[in-house]
Structures are given as C-alpha cells and as structure tokens.
Amino acid sequence: MLNMIPNRTSDGRLIIAVMLLVKILTVIFIIIGFKLLPFCNECQAVNFLSPSNQPVSLMSSFTTWDAQHYIQVATRWYQPNHPSNAFFPLFPTFIALSSQLLFGNVIIAGFLVSTVTSIAAMLVLFGLVERIFNRDVAWKTVLLLITFPTAFYFHLIYSEGTFLLIIALAFWWLRFGNIFTRTMGHTLLSLSRPQGVLLILSHGIALLCNPKQWRRFLPAIAGLGLGYLLYMLIMYFSTGSLLSGLAAQAYFATNNGLDNLLHPLHWLTRNFIFYDWTVLHGITQSLFNRVFFFGFMLALPFLYRSVDRDLFWYTAIVAGVTAVSGDLVSWPRYMLMLFPVFILLALKIKKRYILVTWGIVSGLLQICLLLAHTQNFWVA
C-alpha cells in the first residue's frame, strides 16, 4: 500500500495539509453562509429529509440534498419503494460503521468518511499520476482537481471522495497490483456508484484493443461483475426486488434512466436543439451544465492522444453513458469522476501563471457554488 502514495514524504504531507486547510475553510464558509445568506426553505420543504420534518438550522446547511439519502441508508438501510434506494451502498456503509465509533452520530461520521477518503484519494491519485507521468504533472493534476468549481463535494456528505479513492486504487492495481487486488478493487467499485459498473465496458474495449493484457483486465472485469452481483443481492434481500435501485430513479426530477440510451436523437434534440438557452441554471435545464459539457467534449480528442487507452475509454464510456442517460443534470459534479481530464489539463498547462489564474478563478467560483449549495439552492 505504501508504494502507491507520493514518492516524497514531503509531497504527501503537503497534500494532506492542503486538503485539511480546504476542509476547514469549507466549514467556515458554510457557517458564515448560514448566518448571512438566505436559506431556501422551499427546497427544504420539498426535498427528502431523514428524519422528516427537520427544522431549519445550521445543521441543515451541512446535510443538504443527497446527504439526506446517505444518512437514511446509513441509519435505516434500504427499504421497499424508497427514493434512497437509488444510492449505492459502499459510502453509507462506511458511514454506518464509522458512526459506531462516534456514539451513533451519522453526521459527524459522514464528514469523517468524506475527509478520510478524499484525502486518501488525492494521495493515491498523486502517486498514480507520478508513476505514469512525473511529479510535476501529478501536482498540477491534484491542484486542478482540488480547485475545480464543484470540488467542494469532496468535503460534504457525498460519495465523490469515496468513488475517487476506489477508482484511483482500481487503476493503480490494474497496473501494479495482482489478481487479488485487481478483483477486490473493482468489486468495491461496483458497490460505490452506478458509474463503477460501466468499467465492464471500458475495460472490455481496452482488452479487445490489446488482448495480450488479459491478465490485467479479466480479474478486473470479474471483480466488477462480482460487485454488481453483490449489489443486486443486497437490494433483493433488503427491498424484495433486484431492480429497486433503478426503480427509485422515478422519484427524482432528473429524468435519469437507461432507457434514454435507446433514444440518443431524442436526447440530442431535447438537450441542445429544442432547448431554452436562456435558462442559466436549474435542475433539468442549465446553460451552466452545458458549458462544462462542451468543454469536456472539446477535450476528448486531446485526451485520446495524451493518456493510456484504459484511462481514455474509462472517461469516454462513463461520461457518455452518464450524459445520455439523463439531461446533463449534475454534470459539473460528475466531472469529478473523470480524473483523466485533469491529467490532460495538467499536461497542457505549461505556464505557472495560467495555473495560478485557474486556481483563483475556479476557487472563487467554487466558494460561490458552495454557498449556494449549502443554503439548499440547487447546484449539481
């Protein structure tokens, strides 16, 4: 395990220090925001709450939107015909286990899990990029990711940190691990988020392109299948249905669904041709989301020429299915999963002043979005 963290101890310590500083600042901004800014009481009234009928308080700013579903699963597990069934079990399981050490306080446990996993994710990602490229690219990748406008989700009760850690470990073990670690890492990946299962497709394509690498990819694909089988069994024995997770998507206004993949032209016309471009930002209609999506699409050809094929196919498949299965809802947040894009940016940004400018502009936007999100307004 130690060989996957940065080669220099000073690099690892600095990454931990930066992440802890950002997390402390995040808490400070949340408190200031609650004291000085309006809270969206209407959003609180219509959103799912666990437990229900919570009065608006400072704690409301720390447990907005999806955090309520993770708290629900961590405390009450999966139940038949419940909207929280849409969320995968790994992150809430970590919360439930951690809460046993914290006298049952799932909110503190949620922040603890997010803190530990996001810091570990940055360390493993740094080590992975340093091993594939070099130390300079690794540092820029981590800094670009930390300052990305939606990176504040790493510091909240959201599964972004956990997923990034597992996906970074999966790609590390795919390259430098053994059969056991490759299988185990990808099993956890299928339990973390629905996008994790999509690596069956991306690894399958990478294997077809390079059949000699079957010792790397077959255990990984087997692990993904095993993880999804475990997920289905969890849902069946908890809710009575193998497909209760998919069925739970109907509770949300995000229009996500695998059936959307069967109608790509309808998706294209709905999201880009017959679309109201005057809507700056909303849940299902957002110019803001589409700007980020266009930026990603422009980067894709450069990504193909810049990173290994397994990283490219992971990015292309996960991004494509995530985008087309919905209406680009939460797209800026989903980009946090696509870490090869940040490697590409790190490779292309040569001038230090460009990196500094990115950090300042993106960081200021992140603060604005954090304040909006924690006041219960929709961000991603």
H-type alpha helices, 133-213: 135-146, 160-176, 179-192, 194-197, 199-209
pLDDT in tens, 322-336: 999 888 889 999 999
3-class SS of residue 279: coil
pLDDT at 3: 58
DSSP 161: H
Q: Record the tokens describing residue 99, joined without a space.
A: 């809460």
> In angstroms, what is the C-alpha Rg of the chain?
20
pLDDT at 95: 98
Cα–Cα–Cα angle for 123, 64, 156, nearest 5°?
10
* 340 pLDDT tier (thresholds 50, 70, 90): very high
- Predicted model pTM: 0.94
pLDDT at 218: 96
* 239 pLDDT tier (thresholds 50, 70, 90): very high
The end-to-end CA distance of the chain, in Å, is: 33
Least Cα distance to 111 among 169, 150, 61, 184 occurs for: 61
* 255 pLDDT tier (thresholds 50, 70, 90): low
What are φ and ψ of residue 102, in 5° steps?
-120, 30
Least Cα distance to 127 among 169, 86, 97, 161 occurs for: 169
pLDDT at 252: 81
Residue matched to tokens 């989700």: 153
Lowest-confidence region among 127-131, 256-260, 274-278, 359-363:
256-260
Domain boundaries, the chain: 2-251+354-374
pLDDT in tens, 136-193: 999 999 999 999 999 999 999 999 999 999 999 999 999 999 999 999 999 999 999 9
For residue 75, give the H/E element and its range: helix 66-76
pLDDT in tens, 66-91: 999 999 999 999 999 999 999 999 99
pLDDT at 263: 85
pLDDT at 254: 67
pLDDT higher at 23 or 54: 23
Please say if the pLDDT value at position 369 is more than 70. yes
Q: Record the tokens describing residue 350, joined without a space.
A: 């040569």
Query: CB under 8 Å to 117, separation ≥6 — which residues?
Result: 94, 161, 162, 164, 165
Please say if the pLDDT value at position 5 is more than 60. no
* 285 pLDDT tier (thresholds 50, 70, 90): confident
| Contact criterion met (CB below 8 Å) for 280 and 288 | yes
